[in-house]
Amino acid sequence: MSILINKDTRVVVQGITGRDGSFHAKKMKAYGTRVVAGVSPGKGGESIDEIPVYNSVWEAVHTKGANTSIIFVPAAFVKDAIMEAVEAGIKLIVCITEGVPTLDIIEARRYATLHGVQIIGPNCPGIISPEKSLVGIMPGNIFIPGHTGVISRSGTLTYEVVQNLTKAGIGQSTAIGVGGDPVIGLFYKELLQMFQDDPETDSIVLIGEIGGDAEQIAAEYIKNHITKPVTVFIAGAAAPAEKRMGHAGAIISSGSGTAQEKWKAFEQVDVPVAKNPSEIPSLLLSQLKG
């Protein structure tokens, strides 16, 4: 089983005629994702790799039955793209675009939440349920189907961790890159609960990074609500204070949000923390065997 996406997911690509949109639409389709439509205002009637292009998300939903959107439009237009998808009846939105103004995503996220629509991102690599569906920019070849859920704030670090899991024979049910911005859609608590409720996910890997207190909140949530084994890695242990490291949300401010603080939070609730990504498979397997 998987969470959020599966073989029946029907994807519309917003911004499909742009460089990134067209490239990844083809990659997703080649992976086996049901990419049923693309949207690019003014270019309706065209096609990309036999994927029909429409002028609006509403047309894609009502003509092709799209239920999930992936957004590649420029940052300045993301808020409008999200709101258009919500109004059209899309239920899951994956926003790949980086550099989205914080106030825009706050407004768009609130609008989506009021309409019962889930958002992943922005500034994220997307979601994959191996051999079922890929809605994002992840390298599908490193993933294998299995029973470990992966939640990560870092895109490229996700790939390193998954490569280690795959080499150890540990398959993944679903892997989600939540994004590295200060304000995003679904985050640790919601996704942890989804994996907890998924009968075919037997364990969870959580990849965090410095900055903010999301990992500390996740640790407390795991203590009170999650019964499945969880293994954690926190990136940024050597990062200097007050300096942003890669992501807008990855910054230690006034001594708060350090890797050491986050390690301590998980260790206090008996969640093993890997000091190196290569340690994750052995820590996970020791819990599963125990």
**Domain map of the chain by residue range?**
10-120, 139-289
Token couple for 80 = 């409008």
Whole-number pLDDT of residue 243: 52
Whole-number pLDDT of residue 257: 77
Please give the average pLDDT of every successive group of 10 residues along the chain, which has 290 residues: 94 98 98 98 97 98 98 98 98 97 98 98 97 98 98 92 97 96 95 97 95 92 97 78 49 61 93 95 90
Whole-number pLDDT of residue 290: 67
Q: At 289, is the secondary structure helix, strand, or coil?
A: helix
Supply the pTM of this predicted model. Answer: 0.93
Whole-number pLDDT of residue 252: 44
Whole-number pLDDT of residue 26: 98
Separation CA 285–CA 282 (nearest Å): 5
Whole-number pLDDT of residue 100: 97
Same topology, domains 10-120 and 139-289? Answer is: yes
Tell me: the pLDDT tens digits for 248-262?
A: 444 444 445 788 899
Whole-number pLDDT of residue 239: 55
User: CATH 3.90.1150.10: does it fit domain 10-120?
Assistant: no
Whole-number pLDDT of residue 248: 45
Q: What is the sign of the dihedral through the CA atoms of 50, 56, 60 and 63?
A: negative
Whole-number pLDDT of residue 241: 56
Tell me: the pLDDT tens digits for 71-120?
A: 999 999 999 999 999 999 999 999 999 999 999 999 999 999 999 999 99
- The CATH number assigned to the domain with range 139-289 reads 3.40.50.261
Whole-number pLDDT of residue 249: 46
Catalytic residues, by residue number, are 247
**Closest Cα partner for 146 from 158, 128, 122, 119?**
128
Q: Let me know how many helices (H) and strands (E) the chain has, helices first.
A: 9, 14
Separation CA 14–CA 43 (nearest Å): 12
